[in-house]
Structure 1
Amino acid sequence: MGGDGKDGYYCTICGGIPPDQVKIKKIVIDGKETGIDRLDWILLDVYRRNFGNDETINDELIKRVRQFNYIPTKKMAEYRAALLREFKMLRPDDIRLMEQQMEKEVEPRA
């Protein structure tokens, strides 16, 4: 990995995103495994905000997922169902592990 905090970090081989910086998690949407960039961060962010009902939770999940990912309009209902399913599967141990992972990622690089 090359670069620094000023210029950003990049792969010294291809110039793209360094492999350790890729934050894609795969979930099943409409029967197909689909990669969602930064899904753990999104789930944790929505969880921490303690939204009251499924509709609001789903709206917030979609809003955040769309910041980093393309969602085909024709598949919006399928994405909503899959994201809410992932959110509802979160357990306290999952949250704790995700928080620990996020803390490691924030630590300054030497």
Structure 2
Amino acid sequence: MADEEGEYCKVCGGMVPKAGDVQQIMVDGKTVGIKGLDQILRQVAEMDFSGPVQVKEALLTAVKATNYVPTKKVGAYEDALYSEYLRYTELRG
């Protein structure tokens, strides 16, 4: 279904993100699309955290604001997001 605003998801009813706004990562062995991941990684990297637990919590909170995260997969999402975060921060130097 589509209207002048854009296309709506047939599963959740939310807006389907525009191409390029979703980045795919592996979560618990499955490919998952995360809307706005680059921006989330950038924002969390600019924050001053003392350890991985705080980073994982910040990543998950930001991702859940615009993406569905199944309750049973929270730990897997945290681990996958943290791996992406480490890769992001290594590339940025």
TM over 0.5: yes
| Structure 1 position 37 matched with structure 2 position 38 | no
Aligned to 1:92: 92
Instruction: Report the structure, 1 or 2, having the larger helix content.
Output: 1
Deviation per CA, 1:32-74, whole angstroms, max 9, x where unpaired? 1100000000000000113221000000000000000010000
Which structure is higher in RCO with an 8 Å CA cutoff and minimum separation 6?
2
Q: 1:69 aligns with which of 62, 67, 70?
A: 67
Q: Structure 2: any 5+ residue segments left out of the alignment?
A: 8-16
Matches within 5 A, 1:1-110: 15=4, 16=6, 19=18, 22-90=20-88, 91-92=91-92
Cα distance in structure 2, aligned partners of 1:19 and 1:56: 30
Please list every run of at least 4 consecutive aligned residues from structure 1 whose deviation after the TM superposition is greater than 4 angstroms.
none
Greater CA radius of gyration, 1 or 2?
A: 1
TM-superposed deviation, 1:92: 1.3
The TM-score normalised by the length of structure 1 is: 0.66
CA distance in 2, matches of 1:46, 1:63: 10
Identical columns (%): 32
Aligned length: 80
Over the aligned positions, Cα root-mean-square deviation in angstroms equals 2.0
